[in-house]
């Protein structure tokens, strides 16, 4: 009685193939995550580059404004515009425009309840008469 023992289970080739497939799947998933992270970093870098460009333009504008504010031309225009000052020998002209007449507002007239009916009865009737009919 020779019985041939048959080994049940997974063969060595199947086991190795399963290990290789598992490693390959984990590598593919990790690669996908890294690609997504790289894309997000590129988008963030582009957004930050736009912010840097905006702030550099703003800095340039503020430097030009600072240079202008420190000139006599700015002081002269500001004094004329804000303080309504004039140079010696000039005459200031301020036009007085007529204002449109304002119509008097009349208060709204209150409606009086029908004679003999008090306010609370009027309210009661307006709310509950539709259900009582």
User: What local confidence, expressed as pLDDT, does residue 67 receive?
Assistant: 96
Residue 32 tokens read as 């996908």
| Token pair belonging to 30 | 């990790």
Contact 77, 86 (CB under 8 A): no
In angstroms, the CA 73 to CA 96 distance is: 28
pLDDT digit string, tens, across residues 50-80: 999 999 999 999 999 999 999 999 999 999 8
pLDDT in tens, 16-61: 999 999 999 999 999 999 999 999 999 999 999 999 999 999 999 9
For residue 120, give both structure tokens.
């609370």
Phi-psi region of 4 (alpha: psi -120 to 50; beta: other; left: phi over 0): beta
């Amino acid at each position: 009685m020779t019985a041939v023992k048959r080994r049940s289970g997974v063969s060595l080739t199947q086991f190795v193939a399963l290990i290789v497939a598992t490693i390959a799947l984990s590598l593919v998933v990790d690669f996908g995550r890294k690609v997504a992270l790289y894309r997000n970093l590129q988008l963030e870098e582009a957004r930050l580059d736009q912010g840097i460009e905006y702030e550099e333009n703003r800095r340039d504008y503020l430097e030009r404004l600072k240079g202008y504010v420190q000139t006599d031309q700015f002081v002269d225009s500001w004094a004329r515009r804000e303080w309504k000052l004039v140079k010696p020998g000039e005459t200031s002209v301020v036009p007085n425009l007529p204002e449109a007449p304002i119509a008097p507002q009349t208060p709204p007239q209150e409606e009086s309840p029908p004679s003999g009916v008090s306010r609370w009865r009027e309210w009661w009737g307006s709310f509950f008469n539709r259900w009582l009919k």
